Structure 1
Amino acid sequence: MIEVDGSYGEGGGAVLRIATALSAVTSKPVHITNIRSGRPKPGLMPQHLNAVKAVADLSRASISGLELGSTELFFSPNQLIGGDFKIDIGTAGSITLILQAFMVPAVFADSPVKITIIGGTDVRWSPSIDYLINVTLPVLKLMGYDAKPKLVQRGHYPRGGGIFELEIDPVKKLRPLNLCELNFNSINGISHAVKLPEHVAVRQANSAEEILSKAGYKSKIEIYHSQRAMGPGSGILLWTNGITSVSGSSIGEPGKKAEIIGYEAANDILYNISRKSAVDRYMGDQIIPYLALAGDSTIKTSELTQHAVTNIHVTEKFIDKKFHIKGSMGESAIISVN
């Protein structure tokens, strides 16, 4: 039984997600304590509970402590079996954070996997669904990870109701990844507005394009407008068009001008571009378990975060690989594993 202290490092849901995901991959039972103990509302929230449930369903795991507010969990996995899975978070909880846990073991199932998740597609403090589709999945594809995404409906805070489907083809082994330098020709983007006037998405895009043009970069931003949603919301994601991508994003809020949202996203991606690193800080966090499973890999991230350091700590408990970091917290860093 592997022991994991849920309060380690950033002490949030990432410890829980990585620990249960790698437990399912390695068939090593895990005991997690102090789950989110330093947060205003400690323990499992709906989003975290559903992430564990999704991994448990995939791995036919036995679980103790899977209830709202629980700060302790026993997770004992069995075989990874493919099939169709469905998770309804019941809130605007992040769909992408559930997939951060589920996608790691799903690619090693004995047959294809399809998961449908209902929840938040574009919410604060988590990567958007556009980020998953346009940044995360293309990087994982370089490692042999083949997944087909389908965004059915967007969901924003507080109503949620977003619907997302992902089909995953299994592999026996992931390919090593070596990405350090950022190379790209232009910047792509998607600016969306649902249950709001279309001009909101247009103004977000125009604001971002103006900033990027002044910085010397060509951009092409797609406009997404729909009335199909449970509640209103908007946002924008920008990403570099190349072998790998760094990104910039911003999400709408009541009373926040569309021009400000575009401005924030443009400055976010310009910051990441200035770091001259192959992946941004979000991908630098997410990629850690995949690097360990593939082995012999090296990446350069635009910013070393506490999330990445925490993910490395948890990953090394399950996989007999050693990570090496060249760089300081908050700065560009090279992360390697062998």
Structure 2
Amino acid sequence: MIEIDGSTGEGGGQILRTSLALSMCTGQPFTLTRIRAGRSKPGLMRQHLTCVMAAAEVSGAEVQGAALNSQSLTFVPGKPRAGDYSFSVGTAGSCTLVLQTVWPALLFAEGPSRLLLKGGTHNPMAPPFHFLARSYVPLMRRLGADSELSLRRLGFYPAGGGEIVATISSANDTLHPFDLIDRGAAQDAYAECFAPALPSTIARRELDALGALLGWQGDQLRVGAARQHEGPGNALLATLAFEHLTEVFTQFGEKGLNAEKVAGDLALEVSTYQASTAALGEHLADQWALPLALAVWKRQRAASYTCTALTAHAKTNFEMIARFLPVRFSSTQIDSGWLVKLEPN
């Protein structure tokens, strides 16, 4: 039984999600205490509880402490099972985080799986759908883990109601680690604004302000295609496509935050990434660590990547991964950011 203190490092929900994912992948049970101790509202909130219940259903786990606001949890997994699943957060909580909790385990199931996920699709502090579809999925395919995502409905806070369909193929025999050191040649750069149920002028102002700051114009500034949705929302996205990867950056509008501020914050994020030559932005550097570590473990072969920054969130994730997998992380500061190496123990 692996014993984990949820107040470690960054102290947020990533500790829970990484523990659930790798417990299912490796068959190792764990006990987690002081869950989300680093947050203003500690314990399991609705989206975290949905992650627990989804993991339990996928792996036939025995669980103790799976209740709202619970600050301790014991999870004893069974073998991950392929199938058709439906998971609903029931609020605007992020359904993409639920997806990322069960995604690694379903790679080791004995067949393909289809998931319908309901909740928030574009949330602050969570990977938006477009980030997963454009940045994460292509890298997973290169890793040997074929997956497909489709967006049925947009879901923003506070209404939620978004829907994502994910198809995940078994990759137990196909995972292979690879190095991701440089971006390759630039191929495309564009911005989109999704602003359902809001005046069209909001999207136009954000795009025009972003274009002025980044020097983008014309077809590079796009109003997001209308989709079904459950209420108002506002997400401004910038997509940078390169030969070896695609990065997606997102800022969210909210009441009292003007369009120029949203655009300015996104322009700063994009400019910071463009000022470096490292491959991954700080969020993708965090998200990429777990699937790459699984491939390193399975194939007993080292891999590395470069990134613009290493956040406290990423460093905590590295620590949690090493609790479950016999791999070690090392990081070295380089001129353009950081070089992260993963090696089998």
TM-score interval, smaller chain: over 0.9
Distance 1:265 1:229 in 2: 24
SS of the equivalent of 1:17 reads helix
SS of the equivalent of 1:179 reads coil
Match of 2:162 in 1: 162
| Runs of 4+ off more than 4 Å | none
Match of 1:306 in 2: 312
Question: Deviation at 1:8?
Answer: 0.7
Contact 1:31 1:74 (C-alpha < 8 Å) held by counterparts: yes
| Farther-moved stretch of structure 1 (67-76 vs 251-260) | 251-260
Question: Deviation at 1:225?
Answer: 4.5
Q: CA RMSD in A?
A: 1.9
Q: Deviations over 1:181-219 (max 9, x none)?
A: 2332331333211112333323322322222217xx997
Match of 2:199 in 1: 197
Distance 2:151 2:189 in 1: 22
In structure 2, relative to structure 1, the CA distance for the partners of 1:127 and 1:227 (3 Å cut) is: closer
Distance 2:107 2:97 in 1: 17
Match of 2:36 in 1: 36
Match of 2:284 in 1: 283
Question: Deviation at 1:227?
Answer: 6.7
Distance 2:222 2:112 in 1: 31
Distance 1:288 1:210 in 2: 35
Distance 2:19 2:100 in 1: 11
SS of the equivalent of 1:57 reads helix
SS of the equivalent of 1:157 reads coil
Distance 2:195 2:218 in 1: 23
Question: Deviation at 1:264?
Answer: 2.2
| Farther-moved stretch of structure 1 (201-210 vs 93-102) | 201-210
SS of the equivalent of 1:194 reads coil
| Farther-moved stretch of structure 1 (238-247 vs 76-85) | 238-247
Distance 1:127 1:60 in 2: 27
1:70 aligns with 2:70: yes
Q: Deviations over 1:241-275 (max 9, x none)?
A: 11213332211111323333233222211111212
Identity of aligned residues (%): 32
| Farther-moved stretch of structure 1 (9-18 vs 291-300) | 291-300
1:327 aligns with 2:333: yes
Distance 1:155 1:148 in 2: 19
In structure 2, relative to structure 1, the CA distance for the partners of 1:221 and 1:96 (3 Å cut) is: farther
Q: Deviations over 1:123-161 (max 9, x none)?
A: 222221111111121222221221111111111111111
Question: Please, what TM-score do these two structures have when normalized by structure 2?
Answer: 0.91
Q: Gaps (5+ residues) in structure 1?
A: none
Question: Deviation at 1:229?
Answer: 1.8
The one-letter amino acid of 1:205's match is L
Distance 1:219 1:298 in 2: 35
Question: Please, what TM-score do these two structures have when normalized by structure 1?
Answer: 0.93
Q: Equivalences for 1:19-168 in 2 at 5 Å?
A: 19-168=19-168
The one-letter amino acid of 1:293's match is L
SS of the equivalent of 1:93 reads coil
Distance 2:151 2:209 in 1: 25
Q: Gaps (5+ residues) in structure 2?
A: 297-301
The one-letter amino acid of 2:43's match is G
